[in-house]
A = this chain, B = another copy of it.
Amino acid sequence: MYDLLKGLRVVEGAAFVAGPSCGLYLAQMGAEVIRFDNIGGGPDFNRWPLTESGDSLYWEGLNKSKKSVAINLSSPEGRALAVRLAAAPGENGGLFVTNFPAEGFLSYEALRKIREDVICVRVMGWADGKPALDYTVNCAVGVPEMTGHPDDPRPVNHMLPAWDLLTGAYGAFALTSALIARRMDGRGREVRLPLSDIAAASLANLGMVGDVMGGAPDRPRMGNALYGAFGRDFVTRDGKRIMLVAITARQWRGLLQTLGIGDAVAAVEAEVGASFADDEGLRFEHRDRLFPLFDTAFAARDLAEMIPTFDAQGVCWGIYQPLSAAVEDPRLYRGNPVFEEIVQPSGRRYLVPGAAGTIPQDARLSPRPAPRIGQHTDEVLLEVLGLSSGEVGRLHDAGVVAGPGA
């Protein structure tokens, strides 16, 4: 948590990963982020993983450091209230993050009737409004066809919701960009972020679309090998699996020296008429000749004996470990200053991150737990929307809003 965005008031009406992670990134940089939730929670409020008592670790993970207003979003009055909140007043308000449909009651046109210069970042599935999720977009751009081991014809969905996460971070960037623009020209904007466009643009940015449009065949699945450079997983004598990548000439030479296979690699170079040190593409092209030399060398050495020379030579490697081991790895979780143990609404105490970025000049502020649904209903209605306590009481009585006890 840092306070770079202190004073910004962002309202979030969003479920699943992309929208809530967008709001989370903004909160971790210091914005006040107010969610509105359906009374009892939205469609992802009970999403796995759950604690023994049924609380969602997923939900409380994505909604840390936010406030929650509980509104009956089925009622016309509740919907009107949500629109007012999304278009909240104030020089640094009118900033809305959502995945509600573009044509529904939270349409940009509806928001603009309340506040002309409102900014709305809208996560979508397809650009035409049809539903899509990370996994249903990912298969449509061909990533599962390129993932997995080459001896298995089945496509592989990666488990990481990468497009969701990317859309969330891009959404936070889009919101701050639109705010910078609004401060210049006074105009509001809606930035629509279909997962499908995020995915399609990303593969194009990596050169893959230019390749295929030029007639190259679709990239085959290559197991754990890197495309276009030298890298793969190897297993050491003591049974550790590591991912090893040599990009620069220095890394490559350091690697050959550590493994003592300089001569064997030179023999391959002489045979195929190539010099590997200065061309990562050639290392990739001839990987089937090179990998066995490395397999043999790793199988003859324990990991611990190689680490000092890897480190000295700048060789890039990482260990395969399950998340339960990563949690005890001081570079990743326990001992990493990005994380702090706090008690979340589930009652469970565990490590949660603040902002993933670190600013050496600024002190880290502690992450705050996720809210209970409706925990800030009254505070927000009174202070942000300026309702009277009588009005707030009436909304409670009418079942339009609810506090944390509901």
Q: What are the residues of chain B within 8 A of A284 when measuring CB–CB?
A: 48
Report the count of interface residues on A (CB-CB < 8 A): 164
Residues of B within 8 A of A238 (CB): none
B24 touches A140 (CB 8 A): no
A204 to chain B: closest CB distance in Å? 5
- Stretch from A83-91, A257-265, A294-302, A351-359 contacting the other chain: A351-359
- What 20 additional pairs, Cβ within 8 angstroms, besides A160-B202, A217-B324? A6-B184, A17-B206, A48-B228, A49-B208, A57-B207, A57-B211, A62-B205, A131-B314, A131-B316, A132-B318, A139-B242, A140-B326, A141-B323, A143-B160, A154-B224, A158-B160, A176-B177, A190-B359, A192-B360, A219-B323
A277: interface (CB < 8 Å): no
A 184-204 binary contact with B (CB < 8 Å = 1; else 0): 100111111110111011111
When all copies of this chain in the complex are counted, the total is: 2
Of all A-B residue pairs in the complex, the 9 with the closest CB atoms, nearest first, are A48-B228, A136-B318, A158-B158, A57-B207, A162-B162, A58-B207, A142-B323, A201-B353, A169-B169
Asked if A148 CB lies within 8 Å of chain B CBs, one says yes
A325, closest chain B residue (CB):
B142
Which residues of chain B are within 8 angstroms of A64 by Cβ–Cβ distance?
A: 205
Query: Which residues of B are found within 8 Å of A251, using beta-carbon distances?
Result: 131
Q: Which residues of B contact A184 (CB under 8 A)?
A: 6-7
Pick the residue among B57, B142, B357 that contacts A321 (CB under 8 A). Answer: B142
**Residue pair B206, A61 in contact (C-beta under 8 Å):** yes
B-chain residues with CB within 8 Å of residue A351 when the two chains form the complex: 204, 209, 213
Cross-chain contact A204 with B243 (CB below 8 angstroms): no
Q: Say whether A406 faces chain B, with CB atoms less than 8 Å apart.
A: no
Q: Which of B58, B169, B210, B315 contacts A49 (CB 8 A)?
A: B210
B139:A233 contact, CB within 8 angstroms: yes
Assess the B327–A197 pair: CB atoms within 8 A. Answer: no
Residues in chain B near residue A209, CB distance under 8 A: 61, 323, 327, 333, 350-352
Q: Specify the chain B residue showing the minimal Cβ separation from A356.
A: B201
B145, B193, B314, B353: which contacts A356 (Cβ < 8 A)?
Answer: B193
Q: How far is the CA of A139 from the CA of B357 in the complex (A)?
A: 20
Q: Is A281 touching B46 in the complex (CB atoms < 8 A)?
A: yes
Q: Is the CB of A364 closer than 8 A to any CB of chain B?
A: no
Query: A214 CA to B191 CA in the complex, in Å?
Result: 39
**Using Cβ atoms and an 8 Å threshold, which residues of chain B touch A139?**
233, 241-243, 318-321
State in angstroms the CA–CA spacing of A189 and B165 once bound together.
Answer: 25
Q: How far is the CB of A368 from chain B (nearest CB, A)?
A: 14
Q: Tell me the bound Cα distance from A359 to B226 in angstroms.
A: 36
For A60-74 the 0/1 string (1 means CB < 8 A from B) is 111010000000000
Which residues does chain B contribute within 8 Å of A132, judged by CB atoms?
A: 316, 318
Q: Mark A288-324 against chain B: 1 for CB-CB distance below 8 A, else 0.
A: 0000000000000000000000010011111111111
The answer, among B49, B126, B178, B204, for a CB contact under 8 Å with A331, is B126
Identify which of B60, B180, B196, B311 contacts A176 (C-beta below 8 A).
B180
Q: Which of A336-344, A379-387, A388-396 lies at the binding interface?
A: A336-344
Q: Are A157 and B224 touching (Cβ within 8 A)?
A: yes
What chain B residues lie within 8 Å of A96 (beta carbons)? none
Task: Collect the chain B residues with CB atoms within 8 Å of residue A198's CB.
Answer: 356
Residue from B173, B187, B243, B333 in contact with A172 in the complex, judged by beta carbons closer than 8 Å: B173
A196 to B221, CA, bound (A): 25
Q: Does A399 contact B (CB under 8 A)?
A: no
Residues in B neighbouring A177, C-beta threshold 8 A: 4-5, 29, 176
